[in-house]
Amino acid sequence: MNSFSWSRTSLTLPVTIPTVIVTEAYRAAEMAQSEYMTANPRSRVIAGGSYHYIHWEQPTLVSQAIMDLVPV
């Protein structure tokens, strides 16, 4: 049985996980303070696009963000 409880109010990701959040410019500050951001030095928020489907509007921006996370 899974012992994880979704009722926890302070769910955070471990600092060992770098996160990259690609979001609209007006939400960048909000996302930098979100539960998805970690204190890992490689974590960052990338502002781009003007609507929810940023991967359609700016595919190069999104793919480069993913490639930057993948170790070579």
Task: Give yes or no for a contact between 29 and 52, defined as CB atoms under 8 angstroms apart.
Answer: no
Q: Is residue 37 part of a domain?
A: yes
Task: Specify the number of domains making up the chain.
Answer: 1
Question: Of 36 and 4, which is predicted with more confidence?
Answer: 36
| Domain with 32 in it | 20-69
pLDDT in tens, 12-69: 788 888 899 999 999 999 999 998 899 999 899 999 888 888 889 999 999 999 898 8
Q: Is residue 61 part of a domain?
A: yes
Q: What is the dihedral of CA 63, 67, 26, 40, to 10 degrees?
A: 160
Q: Is residue 60 part of a domain?
A: yes
Q: Is residue 13 part of a domain?
A: no
Q: Is residue 53 part of a domain?
A: yes
**Structure token pair of residue 34:** 């979100």
